[in-house]
A and B are shown apart, each in its own frame.
Chain A
């Protein structure tokens, strides 16, 4: 093009760009005045201008900095090359270190995109996606944070081509295409059952491998990459408009029905090779208009295919989400019927169809409810049939359905609670719980998208998990079963929060749920996950608090979330912890700040107890961080404030006693323990069925015996201790829940061992400590993040070493010291400033040196002076 012509083009393009898009066209034709090639040139430049978006917007050198990741190691993976780049992140091909055959795709959030919101979203999505395990879904393998803190996801690496290309290249016949499509449906169904919505299903996201296996990519990633689920602008930026559903184009809520629509679009393209709508432009607004307002061409108008397939496709891509297939499974089933020559359920829209819409969607749920409710309300089926007649009756039917559900679930729990106190009712209670679970599982499977139902089912799972996880009263103490149901409740709650991020009730419910869930995760040795769940809950709470800074209820919820996370970081005296005491103290203090303004006369008992709990937990973490005097001051404050319940007082006396003991004030420690024991005995007398109280009596008896022994009153204390341990052993035999009794066994046996050793019975002492070791190892169960239990195990090995040394078995002693040394070393690698680990490490070094001297027959410190480390946490 010569310069003059270019100047002409430039002028017209610039003029057009200055105009509103609507009036451009008119100007364009006028300015070009019938010069077809000029018009074409200008038009194509205007198109490019619109499509270019951020083309070249990032300077060349800045763009290249991402490449520096190549060759770097992220977690267990070495980054090989960038394979795709998007607005929010880059995808790399990587290989596993030590196994270069194993290829993976690594997604890393782009620098600059790592805002708090996206990072939180990323973490959340990772939790949900990690639950997806299906042969036709590219799985999430791992995740972590790059050295600069940006999170990444490790996904299965798929070598394949888009499903539509595959079908064409292999010249698949219609039935083969349909079978392959059904495989895709099964993957989508699976994801929906796990409450994950893809939102961006399209041929390029469904790759078929050389072996002919379709694999869905980026499940839920679309959601993850969307900074604000409600923003239409974002939707337009991130979505391929040609495949967007009407509800997406309108910026409305996205549900499983959206994926059904996308499946319908995919089926359309697979069957006809064309798109159902004809677009004359690439303008997103125009595309949205066409998708929302015009009728799609029938597939049979494009290719000669059966009328049944026409109906199946059109039902799937219906503009009203409620009139599409209820599930991917139903869509797949209709195709199966077509392939088998059976009549299909899809038919052309009729007025009757519209009238029966409600029941079509809700009948399944009605039936599931009826399974348990059948004996409660007769004639429900008849009511449902009549409900077809009119809208008014439809509402009645819906209300009845609600009543039935409520009745069924409340009845369930009432039944449970009423028989809970009966001796020997455990089997019956289990049966009730099993019935309840069957009911909930069925309800959930029927309609996973109805939010009301989801909330109700989540509450049901949470209540059942609570009952299973509790070891006292009506609880049945089955942590593993409780965990499974907490997970179900959590999946539902997360999905609800994702769908209704602005609904405080849903957010609060998830935070509330996470309290019990985290406790259960800790009990079952899932400390890392506990940390994640507690952090997520705190993120949610912080968001909520920012939105409602004046709401005292939300302040309390946020305080509880801080305390929950602090509990994982600093422990609570009996659960695992990551031993991050300073972090825990910071959260405790934040919680104190949140609840302090609520501390007024007349405050509700729940808030009152939250305030006291915050103080107690803070004091405990201060004690753990060796700020003993500060801790004691807080305990003193609570005692002198009066009005604390006997439960709280018991806890305070116990913990203040521990603090005094650690500070070396044995007299005061003993006095506090005795006060606590009196309270525990009174509670045990009042409620003889409470296991927890029995255990407290035993633990306190043990602590008192221990202190008395150190004060020289051994004989008296040994008998007391033996009695207490015997008592717990009896309880444990009748109700075998290892972990729960762990603490008393652990500490109790070590007390006994200490006593035996002092009396000269080293072998007997070792036997007791070995029992402690077994308990501690059972509690830790390979939970790498439970540093508390690992430190305890290290201490027991040290104690065993000392006991061997006392029998002059130096080799054995060295072996135990080495085991302890190794664990302590690992601990210090993660937390180099851990005071307890450092102390233990120093102790071990001193003892080992002495031991060597002893082995070589040189002058050595008498091994009796080796101090047994205390296991009191």
Chain B
């Protein structure tokens, strides 16, 4: 295992102490580590392995953070950072794939309506990223809930603890934000 990076720990502590600047310096470090781990997982030959984002983040956490100096709440803060990072990794990956595909675009073969329906509901990460940006402007809390839940794989309860709100509120906001995003994404012409 890598040696925990003392700088990252310090930055995390500063950030949870309220320093905005710490987050800006923390992000690239976490980002690099997460990207390495995510790439390894995505490359993995054996499809029998299930990639769990929480495991991934936890692994990154263990590798980056000196746990002797941090508390449980710091771990959850780390998840919050990681969720943002995973969003960036996946969206940039999706944008790259999209531009690579452009030109040779092929019509989807939809094997049945059930599947076609699900396919439509499947998430276009690039469009989602744009829509999420608009949602966050209108309702920052809902934006963060989506980020934690969808990108970070954080549970309803974990999200509630992280944001310091009730699970009932997370439930409601999560549901409404999903409906809003779903509508925004359905409105866009997929091609």
Identify the A interface with B (CB < 8 A). Answer: 1-3, 6, 10, 13-14, 17, 44-49, 51-56, 59-69, 72, 83-87, 91, 93, 105, 107, 111, 146-148, 157-159, 200, 202, 204-205, 217-218, 221-222, 225, 238-240, 243
Residues of B within 8 Å of A1, CB to CB, are: 138
Smallest CB separation, B114 vs chain A (Å): 5
Q: Contact check, B176 vs A10: say whether CB atoms are below 8 A apart.
A: yes
Q: Is the CB of A60 within 8 A of B123?
A: yes
Contacts of A72 in B (CB 8 A): 45, 47
Q: Which of B8-16, B21-29, B181-189 contacts A (4 or more CB under 8 A)?
A: B181-189
**CA–CA, A221 to B90, complex, Å?**
33
Q: Which residues of A contact B116 (CB under 8 A)?
A: 84, 204
Q: Are A148 and B47 in contact (CB under 8 A)?
A: yes
A159 and chain B: residue at smallest CB distance: B109
- Assuming the contacts A51-B182, A69-B47, A148-B48, asked whether A60 and B112 have C-beta atoms less than 8 A apart, the reply is no
B140 to chain A: closest residue by CB = A3
B53 an interface residue at 8 Å Cβ cutoff? yes
The answer for the CA separation of A147 and B44 in the assembled complex, in Å, is 13
Taking a contact as CB atoms under 8 Å apart, the answer to whether B176 and A49 are in contact is yes
- A52 engages B178 (CB within 8 Å): yes
B163 within 8 A of partner (CB): no
Contact sample, A vs B, 23 pairs, CB 8 Å cutoff: A1-B138, A3-B138, A17-B172, A45-B180, A49-B182, A56-B123, A59-B149, A60-B151, A61-B53, A62-B51, A65-B49, A68-B43, A68-B47, A72-B45, A83-B108, A83-B109, A84-B109, A85-B115, A85-B122, A147-B48, A157-B109, A218-B111, A238-B114
B38 within 8 A of partner (CB): yes
Beyond A61-B41, A202-B113: 14 further Cβ-contacts under 8 Å?
A10-B139, A13-B176, A51-B186, A52-B182, A60-B53, A60-B86, A60-B123, A61-B38, A66-B47, A68-B43, A105-B111, A147-B47, A200-B113, A204-B110
Task: Give Cα A6 to B52, complex, Å.
Answer: 34
B121 adjacent to chain A (CB < 8 Å): yes
A10 / chain B contacts, CB cutoff of 8 Å: 139, 176
B133 at the interface (CB under 8 A from A): no
Selected from B38, B42, B52, the residue in CB contact (under 8 A) with A67 is: B42
A221 to B110, CA, bound (A): 14
Check B114–A68 contact: CB distance below 8 A.
no
Chain B residues whose C-beta falls within 8 Å of the C-beta of A105 in the assembled complex: 109, 111
Interface centre among B52, B87, B125, B138 (most CB of A within 10 A): B138
B153 touches A59 (CB 8 A): yes
Q: Report chain A residues within 8 Å CB of B186.
A: 48, 51
CA distance A158 to B146 in the complex (A): 38
Contact status A59-B180, CB under 8 Å? no
Give the complex CA separation of A158 and B111 in angstroms: 9
| A17-B175, A48-B182, A200-B113 as given contacts; A60 in contact with B118, CB under 8 Å | no
Chain B stretch 96-117: residues in CB contact (< 8 A) with chain A: 108-117
**Complex CA distance for A55 and B119, rounded to whole angstroms:** 10
Within the complex, which residue of B53, B122, B178, B182 is in contact with A59, where a contact is CB–CB below 8 Å?
A: B53
CB distance A61 to B47 under 8 Å? no
Q: How far is the CA of A221 from the CA of B113 in the complex (A)?
A: 12
**Whole-angstrom distance between the Cβ of B167 and the nearest chain A Cβ:** 15
In the complex, residue of chain B having the shortest beta-carbon distance to the beta carbon of A65: B51
CA distance A165 to B86 in the complex (A): 40
Q: Nearest-CB distance from B110 to chain A (Å)?
A: 5
Q: Which residues of B contact A48 (CB under 8 A)?
A: 179-180, 182-183, 186
Cα A67 to Cα B122 in complex, Å, equals: 14
Asked if B143 CB lies within 8 Å of chain A CBs, one says: no
| Complex interface residues of chain B between 30 and 80 (CB less than 8 A to chain A) | 38, 41-53, 56
Interchain CB contact under 8 A, A6 and B138: yes
B112 touches A217 (CB 8 A): yes
Decide if A60 touches B90 in the complex (CB within 8 Å).
yes
Contact A87 B118 (CB under 8 A): yes
Nearest-Cβ distance from residue B71 to partner chain A, whole angstroms:
25
In angstroms, Cα B181 to Cα A86, docked, is 20
CB distance from A213 to the nearest CB of B (A): 16
Given A1-B138, A59-B152, A65-B51, the answer on whether A158 and B121 have CB atoms closer than 8 Å is no
A-contact 0/1 string along B84-96, CB 8 Å cutoff = 0011001000000
B contact residues around A221 at 8 Å (CB): 112
